[in-house]
Structure 1
Amino acid sequence: MPRKRACDSCHEKKISCDGGSPRCDWCNHRNLDCTYHRASASSRKRPQPAEFSLQDEIEQRLERLESLLQGLRRTDRGDPSPPAEISDKLPSKSQPPSHGGIFYGSLYFAGCHLGDISSRNGIPIFSDEGRRWVQDRTGEAAALEGGQELSDIDLDFAQNKLSDLALLGGHNSAPPLPTKATAQRCLDIFRASTLQVVFPVVDLSTFQEIIDRAYEETTESTRAMVCVLSFVSFLSLLEPQKTAELLPDVEMYATKAQQLLLLTMAEPTIEGLQAALLLCLYLDFSGQLQAASMLHSLASRSLFMLGGHLKPKPPSGATPDDARLRHLRTLFWLCYFCDKHISLRTGQPHAIADDQCDLALCDDYTGLDFIDLKMDGPSLAQYLPKPLQPSDLGLTIIKSKVFSLLFTPSALKKSDTEILHTVRMLDEELERWRMSVPPSVRPSLSSVSDPADPSLQHEFGMLLIFVRFEYLYLLSAIHRACGRCQAWSVDGGVPNAVRSSLLLSVEASRSTLIYLKVASEMVHRESFWLVIFYPLWASVTLFCNIIYKPSARHAQSDVELVSAVPSLLKKLRARVPTPSEALHLQRLEAFIAELIHLANKAIYKHRPENPTAQDKE
């Protein structure tokens, strides 16, 4: 018995077609013309789907995008509003998610609006349409609840935090400062650590004075107390082995610092800014993303009032004021990094607008140029000329552009021409940055599976690992934007350039999970909540590609890559999670487990030997 043939729209969407007359159910529901204009399998030779080759040069990708851009200009005319006959076939971009809570960003894949991003934990939440698409491709309802709204456990945890603050008493009670000797010992640990250049949040030349003031019984000591409490809390998370005996009850210090912080922010000072940033990092590293985001907004506003968003004039000499301005500028870049990283993980708008800041780097900023794999040693951090920051600043600026130009509400209204132009521009800029990095530490798609990579054993190996994750994510995110092009819903097929761009996004996600397996042993265990974002989104992208093309050559191996993520994430954790962290981990593990389950269902359903297999390419 011949296999039932799908209509053109269902064939392009890769969904089952009931062959109804005069229109199938899919076309009738969307008021589309139900046509069968494409050549049948017997009358044409089916071309093999083009597989992405790691050897393709960046110029080839850009040429394909340019070719499509020129073709679209002949029909698109640069109008940001798509033609009516096209937009009628697309899912509504403004339709709110079906779940409660606040959601930002949008997830599209191959023309389908799959859902949005939970602002609380950064886990995607699938829309009703996304769930229908997944169910049609797998034959099973999707239980993808990772980004759901606040549960009773969340609210109980928040109430407990408020109770902790109340138990500590008002701001007039004696603050639970560690001993002065302990604070000085923490400063010595920080000074000898690579943290001083990766997270240069305190000025080593003046922080001893802050410690001294914190232990003076004066009305002016509160700000210094908060700074010291925030500092020891931050250090205890990132250097747990060196501080465990010194700081046995660090959560008490962090809670007291949060209670007193607002008292120090009434008047903007560098001490208050340092305290806010230290607490922001502490909360972020402990998995409290929403609280970190709120504190970051407070720090950003203080930064603007101090003028840190503007590049200072060239110093007239080695004066204390010049040193203060240099440190303020260092704090700006750290705050800028946190802003862009929080936005990518939550989909929330930037707190720092690029066009309101001077983003010119210092003339002596070295970035990754100073990291020479042949010049490793235990004292490398001691003679770095300038702070490195948590990531390369050039890459962080590109990260900001990717979010602003592709994933903001205004960016989601772009026409195909505008999307492809933006993708091409950002791809070129990302490649220029990549080629500017020294070859020994340059990230790429093809060099992610070498366990003997010398950068993994480097003193700044965690920084290099993080930069590699960032590069792969940005490459994937840039080209994933082509998934919302109107061309996916136009009769006659999708241009090869758009398909190639989506394949590149998938390949970057695949490389992310391969690299995670290789680098997992060297990832700083306390960086868990900063790093977890990358394998999560790589898993989502691979899942979408498996659902879209379950018979593709890489489908089964991609499922295996995603299946390895839960065990790798467990390996990355060192300490016992807090109740809030445990809740988020449970949701994350359940979400990834459901991705794996549904991906396997899709592959089984579309196997040639399966009698229920649908009409496929």
Structure 2
Amino acid sequence: MPPRRACDTCYKRKIQCLIKTQGDPCDWCDSQGLTCTFDRVIQKDPNKRTTSDVVQELSRRVESLEEALQTALTNSTNLSVGGPSPWSEPTSLRFASSPITRQPVISPIGVSPSTRPKAVYRLCRCHIGTNWYFKGIGILSDRGWQWISDGAGERVFLENFDIFGNPAPPLGSVSFSETPRVLPPRAICAHVVELFFKSKTAVIFPFLERGLFEGTLSRAFDEGVGDLGRRAPAEACLWAMIALVVRTVDAQHLGVSFVSRDCVTEASRLLRVVSGITSLDSLQGTLLLADDTSGQVKKPEDNVVKQQSASPAPVACLPRDTDLARIKENASNILCSPRAFKYTEGELLAHVRQLDDELEEWRLSISASYRPRLSISSDLVFGLPASLSERDRMKERTYFINLQLDYLFTIINIHTLVRKCGDLEENLPDDLHSVVHSSADLSIEASRSIFRILDQIVELWEEDALWIVSHYAPMAAMPLFMNILIHPLGSSADNDLHILSSISKITRKIPSDRLPMEEIEHIQEISEFVMELVRLSHSAAWKVKRGEREHDLDIIHT
């Protein structure tokens, strides 16, 4: 059997060292008549931590997390008036002017349409996760920062960006009005609802259903409802919808002078009043406040119709696929859970292969008109029939684009983890090196396609593209950046650098005239993060040209 440590000769020749009986020479030295020695000095890696170091670091992290959690719970319990609201406001909307005659002002608080309020709180960050590796090193760990710095020859400033970990709990107190606000008249609220469901945003982020919301409107203005658990959630839902509308529409046209922040605060107050009471209205209000579309549900019969028909049919449901969502969930549970740290390299690759097979089986089950593909050209072709109305055409495009982006996102999620295989101090075996490169190539091509799609949807979705870009761009940038850092020279690296640099053009194309300052600063940070990756990539290329590092970091030359 192979010893725990190869003899000097086998180590030098990079061959397997086999010793049948302890104390005897290995098979190779014995067959060649050589002296089997173990005299070489093993250089200890100063960066490699012992088990006790890892345990101590984990203990410190657990303690710091417990302290942060205790602080957050204390802050949420001790509410005071006058502090900033911790709730992030939802995405922007583009609405037409209201035909309703201007009504008297409902609230004493007004805002000039020509002034943009200064950002006073931070939006929830996008979450690209921490499952980025190179030969076992966590790229977003301290050791990973050092690896990036060594490869680029520059100091790394990625820790300055607030987009890596889970969104931090808001700090500060919650601001609630001493007296509850009164909803605008029912006619105004009904018109606000009408504006929302006719907007482009209702198509791109379809987390509400029109028929169900009619009941919400009725319950909010039903004077006969004495149950607080029925009326308060409905009112909260309407306040949240008004917050969406007045952010990008002149509130005076609606007959109100509420600023979006006031509406968010009132909706949040009402939801806290009925905290623990489960209802449809509470769910709708929470979705509107959080702008969280990740839990969308798709009607199975619509998907069945699409798979059985070769011709496009109008999409009358939410543009997500539950089967793909299941695969994404499985990928997260299998590859990103704590148990994944116990996988051997063989087990990890087997799971990746299994998930990839499931993903390809799902892809082939989608009708040819909507079937996602890995490589996307610079021009998306939809092939929609001319008989469709403009709104139905928008739904069809939205379904196709979201399906394509979700598919590419899942490919990256599955295949990027193969870079976890190997040891930084050793070359990968040839067969494992080939497997890692094949999977990495898939995630890299998926990243390229995502950037090409993002470049086109800005013109299609305008302001509403902001949240799509901010969600997908950082995730797509990481595989490209890591590959450039490993192989910084060549036409492929040059092309990928050009793709990464396109984030500046993409984000600048997003119309910002009616966006609040929080959203502008949010997308600006996304752009600056990707451009920081571009800077480090350029530095890595120049370091190679100066002869200060190897051309390829994944090959160790001895």
TM-score, length basis structure 2: 0.67
Match of 2:301 in 1: 364
Where do residues 309-348 of structure 1 align in structure 2 (5 Å cutoff)?
A: 336-337=295-296
Equivalences for residues 233-272 of structure 1 within 5 A: 233-234=243-244, 240=248, 245-246=253-254, 249-272=259-282
Please say if 1:404 is aligned against 2:333. yes
Q: CA deviation at 1:589?
A: 3.5
Distance 1:104 1:398 in 2: 18
- The residue type paired with residue 277 of structure 1 is L
CA contact (8 A) 2:204 2:398 kept: no
**Alignment-derived partner of residue 314 in structure 1:** none
Q: Alpha carbons of 1:337 and 1:362: their partners in 2 closer, same or farther (altered >3 Å)?
A: closer
Do structure 1's residue 211 and structure 2's residue 148 form an aligned pair? no
CA contact (8 A) 1:177 1:229 kept: yes
Counterparts in 2 of 1:89-104, with a 5 A limit? Answer: none
Distance 1:30 1:149 in 2: 26
CA-CA distance at 1:197 after TM superposition: 7.0
Count how many residue pairs are aligned between Structure 1 and Structure 2: 436
Matched, 1:600 2:529: no
On the 8 A contact 1:145/1:591 being kept in 2, the answer is: no
Which residue is 2:371 aligned to? Answer: 442
Letter aligned with residue 462 of structure 1: T
CA offsets 1:422-457 (integer angstroms, 9 cap, x no match): 111111111111112221222112233225544799
Q: 1:29 aligns with which of 46, 54, 66?
A: 46
Residue equivalent to 2:528:
590
Mapping 1:160-239, distance limit 5 Å: 162=174, 165-166=175-176, 168-169=177-178, 173-192=179-198, 201-217=207-223, 219-220=226-227, 221-234=231-244
Which residue does the alignment assign to 1:572?
A: 510
- Quick check: which has more Rg, 1 or 2? 2
| Equivalent-residue separation in structure 2 for 1:604 and 1:197 (angstroms) | 46
- In the alignment, does 2:399 pair up with 1:473? no
* Contact 1:230–1:257 (CA under 8 A) maintained in structure 2: yes
Query: C-alpha offsets along residues 304-361 of structure 1, whole Å, 9 cap, x if unaligned?
Result: xxxxxxxxxxxxxxxxxxxxxxxxxxxxxx77349xxxxxxxxxxxxxxxxxxxxxx8
Residue identity opposite 1:29 in structure 2: P
AA aligned opposite 1:141:
R
Shift of 1:235: 5.3
Aligned counterpart, 1:137 = 151
Residue in structure 1 matched with residue 342 of structure 2 by the alignment: 413
SS of 2:337's equivalent in the other structure is coil
- CA 1:427 to 1:272, structure 2 compared with 1: closer, same or farther past 3 Å? same
Aligned 8 A contact 2:137 2:143 in 1: yes
CA distance in 2, matches of 1:500, 1:137: 22
Q: Which residue in 1 is equivalent to 2:131?
A: 107
Indicate the SS of the match to 1:29: coil
Deviation at 1:490, TM superposition (A): 5.0
Code of the aligned partner of 1:519: I
Secondary structure of 1:267 counterpart: coil
What CA deviation, in whole Å up to 9, does each residue of 1:174-228 have, x standing for no partner? 4242321121123333454576676555453453343233234454433321222
The one-letter code of the counterpart of 1:139 is G
Give CA-to-partner distance per residue, 1:48-100, whole Å, 9 cap, x none. xxxxxxxxxxxxxxxxxxxxxxxxxxxxxxxxxxxxxxx989x9699569998
Q: Name the Cα RMSD after superposition.
A: 4.1
Structure 1 pair 566–417 and aligned structure 2 pair: CA distance change class (3 A): same
Change beyond 3 A, Cα 1:404–1:222: same
| 3-state DSSP of counterpart to 2:451 | helix
- Secondary structure at the residue paired with 2:138? strand
- The DSSP-based 3-state class of the residue aligned with 2:341 is helix
C-alpha distance in 2, partners of 1:93/1:438? Answer: 51
Q: Distance in 2 between matches of 1:525 and 1:516?
A: 13
Moved more, 476-485 or 408-417: 408-417
Name the aligned partner's letter for residue 449 of structure 2. S
Task: Kindly indicate whether the alpha-carbon contact (under 8 Å) linking 1:526 and 1:573 is maintained by their aligned counterparts in 2.
Answer: no
Give me the whole-angstrom Cα distance separating, in 1, the residues matched to 2:252 and 2:310.
Answer: 32
Q: 1:459 to 1:200 in 2, by over 3 A?
A: closer
d(CA) in 1 for partners of 2:450 and 2:261? 33
Q: Distance in 1 between matches of 2:367 and 2:251?
A: 35
Call closer, same or farther: CA 1:516–1:400 in 2, change over 3 Å.
same
Q: Secondary structure at the match of 1:523?
A: helix
CA shift, 1:588, in A, is 3.1
Tell me which residue corresponds to 1:35: none
Cα deviation per residue 1:21-45 (whole Å; 9 max; x = unaligned)?
Answer: 97797x54368xxxxxxxxxxxxxx
Give the aligned residue type for 1:369: K
C-alpha contact (below 8 Å) 1:372/1:440 kept by paired residues: no
Could you give the per-residue CA deviations for residues 117-149 of structure 1, whole angstroms, max 9, x where no partner exists? xxxxxxxxx322112111211212212124459
Q: Tell whether the 8 Å contact from 2:320 to 2:403 is kept in structure 1 after alignment.
A: yes
Task: Tell me if the contact between 1:402 and 1:426 (Cα under 8 Å) persists in the aligned partners.
Answer: yes
State whether residues 462 and 522 of structure 1, in contact with CA within 8 Å, keep that contact through their aligned partners in structure 2: no
2:491 aligned counterpart, secondary structure = coil
- Measure how far apart 1:579 and its partner are: 4.9
| Separation in structure 2 between the aligned mates of residue 104 and residue 556 of structure 1, nearest angstrom | 24
For the residue of structure 1 that corresponds to 2:539, the secondary structure is helix
Partner of 1:297: none
Q: Which amino acid aligns with 2:237?
A: C
| Rounded Cα–Cα distance in structure 2 between residues aligned with 1:371 and 1:93 | 55
Q: What residue is the counterpart of 1:544 in the other structure? A: 482
- How far off its partner does 1:528 sit? 1.9
1:381-407 Cα shifts (integer Å, max 9, x gaps)? 6xx3xxx22422221111111111111
* Mean CA deviation greater in 210-219 or 476-485: 210-219
Q: Letter of the aligned partner of 2:134 in structure 1?
A: A
| C-alpha displacement of 1:480 | 0.6
The AA in structure 1 aligned to 2:531 is A
Cα shift at 1:408:
1.7
1:459 aligns with 2:394: yes
Structure 2 equivalent of residue 342 of structure 1: none
Given the superposition, is the C-alpha separation of residues 179 and 448 from structure 1 closer, same or farther in structure 2, using an over 3 Å criterion? farther
1:112 & 1:274 partners in 2: Cα distance? 43
Cα contact 1:373–1:455 (8 A) shared by 2: no
Which stretch shows the higher mean deviation, 363-372 or 550-559?
363-372
Measured after TM superposition, the shift of residue 593 of structure 1 is 2.4
Structure 1 segment 54-69 matched on structure 2, within 5 A: none
Partners of 1:364 and 1:438 lie apart in 2 by: 14
Letter in 2 for 1:233: A
Task: After TM superposition, give the deviation of residue 109 of structure 1 in Å.
Answer: 3.1
Q: Indicate the SS of the match to 1:364.
A: helix
Distance 1:255 1:449, change over 3 A: same
Q: Which amino acid aligns with 2:394?
A: E
- Residues 152 and 539, structure 2, Cα contact 8 Å, conserved in 1: yes
Higher RCO, 1 or 2 (CA under 8 Å, sep at least 6)? 1
In structure 2, relative to structure 1, the CA distance for the partners of 1:232 and 1:500 (3 Å cut) is same
- Contact 1:176–1:252 (CA<8 Å) still a contact in 2? no
Q: In structure 1, the residue corresponding to 2:131 is in which secondary structure?
A: strand
Change (3 A) 1:212 1:453: closer
- Kindly provide the CA deviation profile for residues 455-491 of structure 1, in whole angstroms up to 9, marking residues without a partner as x: 7993122332222121111111211111112467655
TM-score in terms of structure 1 length? 0.61
Q: Deviations over 1:361-384 (max 9, x none)?
A: 8652427828989768xxx56xx3
